Amino acid sequence: MRRSKAIRPVINVLVVDDSAIVRKLLSENLARDPQINVLGTAPDPYVARDKIVKLKPDVITLDVEMPRMDGLAFLHKLMQHYPLPVIIVSSLTPKGGQMALEALEAGAVDVMCKPGASYTVSEMSVQLIDKIKAAANVKVSKKKPDASERKPRVKAALSKTTNKIVAIGASTGGTEALRVVLSMLPKNAPGTLVVQHMPEHFTKSFANRLDGLCEMHVKEAEDGDRVVPGTVLIARGNKHLLLRRSGAVYYGQTKDGPMVCRQRPSADVLFKSTAKFAGANAIGVILTGMGDDGARGLLAMKENGAYTIAQDEKTCVVYGMPKVAVSLGATDCSLPLELIADRILKKAAS
């Protein structure tokens, strides 16, 4: 007797974009996945509002640069009155990147760039389908101010600087998770490298935003940047970030290359290079995110003597990457998001 395959629920999607070409392109490519049903499209937030009430989509894709009402203003209203998972699909421009970052802070689940010189239609479609499937499982509630933003944090301090290296990987929900972790680290915390799945231009805006919130200096990584205490390097969108070592000096390398785990930058690439060049001198952290990127790289770090941390399921937006890492035995511990920075500092001082 043959077992019947489990039937996966269909995810109903509404595409919101002022470009008819983009609406057609997204609709056709998303419809190729049997798990996704494109309910319809909307050219602006006013039409989108009516269709959301009528069609009740599970997920919407939203451009942020639109006429009549920009997507950011619409998102704020949506999260106040009818919260649901939103994926930002934005143009690959510095302005689009800044607006997309503000959208993530306003409650959007994830961000994606429109196809262009850096991202083919095929690459974009594969990633967007993955993001939609992850977003459909996210429980979105009305946006509330984070207590950490209302009340200054009491940061721990390292009694002395350290040559430890911290490598962090994150995806869906990671922009907020990274803000929490990095804002709790003192200005002399170990040199840190971060892979957050975001397109180029978006990562520069993200790094600049974090730099204004953290005691450490946060910047988008450039090839050859030294990894020193007090500095955080954010992987550039569409470029892999690797740790390298020359004598006693650690530095970051940015490079092109194929996608790894459907991602560029990839946490696996960062973690494996950190395992090779830092070994037991490193601390690895895997945060909220869809898929399995980073899990095998984190295992390599642990096998080379590094201390490894996963964000726990309860505090993850999407318990994908940490779950796979835990299942592989790649982690020394799983911690709530707000306790991760303290554990990093304790291990760095030991």
Enzyme catalytic residues: 171, 197, 293
* Residues 231 and 191: beta-carbon distance below 8 Å: yes
Quick one: residue 230, left, alpha or beta (phi over 0 = left, psi -120 to 50 = alpha)? Answer: left
Nearest to 326 by CA among 341, 339, 310: 310
Report how far Cα 95 is from the mean position of its chain's Cα atoms: 19
Residue type, 134: A
Spatial distance between the Cα atoms of 335 and 313, rounded to a whole number of angstroms: 9
Angle between helices 94-106 and 202-213 (to 10 degrees): 60
Query: Is residue 232 helix, strand or coil?
Result: strand
Task: Note the helical H segments in 82-143.
Answer: 94-106, 121-135
| Cβ-based neighbours of 166, under 8 Å, separated by 6 or more | 189, 190, 191, 192, 193, 282, 283, 284, 285, 344, 348
Whether residue 322 contacts residue 310, with contact meaning beta carbons closer than 8 Å, is answered with yes
Do residues 314 and 323 touch, judged by C-beta distance below 8 A? no
Is 29 within 8 Å of 125 (Cβ atoms)?
yes
Specify the residue for token string 């505090």: 315
